[in-house]
Structure 1
């Protein structure tokens, strides 16, 4: 498995991450096997959130005896120091660890999210204290807004950003390139999500219950979409929570080749008229 350096941390992460939502609602024995399989295939970057149902519990049990082999990232939906500390404490228990390699503000997308986070008593104060206390090694955030992501990078000295990097978003929504560019200028590590997303999902669409969007259905195009993302200046990408996409992501990672100009043009044709899941 290819590994890349995360920003200025010096950490080498597998270019494919293991999203904790994969094991949500999964039988524990199957979760144990899937985590062991991923580690055996060279994946060392794991990411989870307390908002992913029972994923922290399943992942925590599966990582017993394996914690030191991996780079574990967790998140908080708390916007105040108090609410985030409560979540962090519970995440430590569920994941059976006393530190996180990366701790991130989750799904920052509104002015209210931003204002609460940066204010006195906000979650940024927890990140600062927890890093000094050794409870977290690195700080980060995920965002579903270009404007909020750009503002956050100016508001705090983050080590990493987790952001949608997706061909339809890039071509049809102008969503992503400006965030990656700024992160590079500040030497903030770039981690990607939504690489295999295609378009929005209607309310009555029950397919792919672990994704709120419609992923690329064609498997070859899905692999090409992931290669597009991994050909951008990012360290790693986390594939969809739908388990069927995980082996496709492994195949791409283990045989990775930079996307060609012809392949980019092919993706542009595929994206024509498609509604992106995010707009700038």
Structure 2
């Protein structure tokens, strides 16, 4: 797909403001976060999502709760999380924040690591307990980063059996998978699913100004997902945060680039009120970058991106939680 086709696909995902919001004063409309279609699910989610890892790192739990509720009050609906984030504290804190009616405002996603059915099922139930809910809106298999992960997941007695059973039991509305290591492994996961007669609702992967230059998910996986109508969850828009360390682009530029791709949501780490306001500001004022603006950002990052030095999730084990903790896999 070329840039024009990407732009057309992005525009197709964007949801027009409702008649009610269109009738409100312009000052009120600036407070809304645009929503996008989540693949073929029939759901709409905020174009910016709250990352689950960073939300569990505040020393004061009350600060985490304020940020989560502040995001929801500000118009962010998509909440990311994972069974293994901060020894479960990210889910525990999010569960507390979703009390008092906040659960109804959220499109709640979490992920599990188990590769066999028994381990995966146990983690699913633990996540639901921590999140204080009887179901998540989206359940994903986490860190599909090894060559054999697709085969293990779809094997008899594998993790996918647990995910499908959870969906049938009403514990999850939609199913997906995530990974940050290799576009080839993502493509293998999609092909393995197809061979088993299964279709994922969503796929999560890094999409940013440097990925476009090096072993690119944008170039290799994104066109497949767009063609098949699978919801695209972009993550690591700032390389968490190594891309910013390159001093080639700013945080708002990183967010705008990722949002200009045909993604349903860009999940970003929000660990402070300043980061929350930055994400809300970019989302509320977002307009897709022009082809010339995209070329300009890619030109600025090309040299720094060429060997993946600032995409450590691809080129090192820095982000590989299940490599550092293989017991999580079961």
Per the TM superposition, whether the score is higher than 0.5 is yes
Q: Structure 1 pair 237/109, CA: closer, same or farther in 2 (3 Å)?
A: same
Please state which structure has a larger fraction of its residues in strand: 1
Quote how far apart the aligned CAs of 1:24 are.
1.0
Structure 1 counterpart of 2:24: none
Deviations 1:133-155 (A, max 9, x none): 11110000002221121122231
Quote how far apart the aligned CAs of 1:253 are.
0.1
Structure 1 counterpart of 2:250: 221
Q: How does 1:146-185 map to 2 (within 5 A)?
A: 146-154=183-191, 155=193, 156-185=198-227
Whether the 8 Å contact between 2:121 and 2:163 is mirrored in structure 1 is no
Q: Give distance in 1, aligned partners of 2:214 and 2:153.
A: 30
Structure 1 counterpart of 2:174: 138
Structure 2 counterpart of 1:268: 298
What is the DSSP-based 3-state SS (H/G/I as helix, E as strand, rest coil) of the residue aligned with 2:156? coil
Which structure has the greater CA radius of gyration? Answer: 2
Whether the 8 Å contact between 2:53 and 2:90 is mirrored in structure 1 is yes
What is the DSSP-based 3-state SS (H/G/I as helix, E as strand, rest coil) of the residue aligned with 2:143? strand
Q: How does 1:1-280 map to 2 (within 5 A)?
A: 1-26=33-58, 27-53=60-86, 54-65=89-100, 66-144=102-180, 145-154=182-191, 155=193, 156-197=198-239, 211=240, 214-217=242-245, 221-240=250-269, 242-243=271-272, 245-275=275-305, 276=308, 277=311, 278=314
Over the aligned positions, Cα root-mean-square deviation in angstroms equals 1.8
Deviations 1:68-93 (A, max 9, x none): 21110000011111111111111111
Of 238-247 and 52-61, more deviation after overlay is shown by 238-247
What is the DSSP-based 3-state SS (H/G/I as helix, E as strand, rest coil) of the residue aligned with 1:157? coil
Please state which structure has a larger fraction of its residues in helix: 2
Quote how far apart the aligned CAs of 1:158 are.
0.6
Deviations 1:20-70 (A, max 9, x none): 223213222212211121111101110100221111111111111211211
What is the DSSP-based 3-state SS (H/G/I as helix, E as strand, rest coil) of the residue aligned with 1:17? strand
Whether the 8 Å contact between 1:79 and 1:117 is mirrored in structure 2 is yes
Structure 2 counterpart of 1:200: none
- Give the gaps of 5 or more residues in structure 2: 1-32, 316-330
Structure 2 counterpart of 1:203: none
Quote how far apart the aligned CAs of 1:220 are.
6.6
Whether the 8 Å contact between 2:204 and 2:235 is mirrored in structure 1 is yes
Q: Give distance in 2, aligned partners of 1:99 and 1:270.
A: 43
Deviations 1:1-31 (A, max 9, x none): 1000100111110000011223213222212
- The count of corresponding residues between Structure 1 and Structure 2 is 265
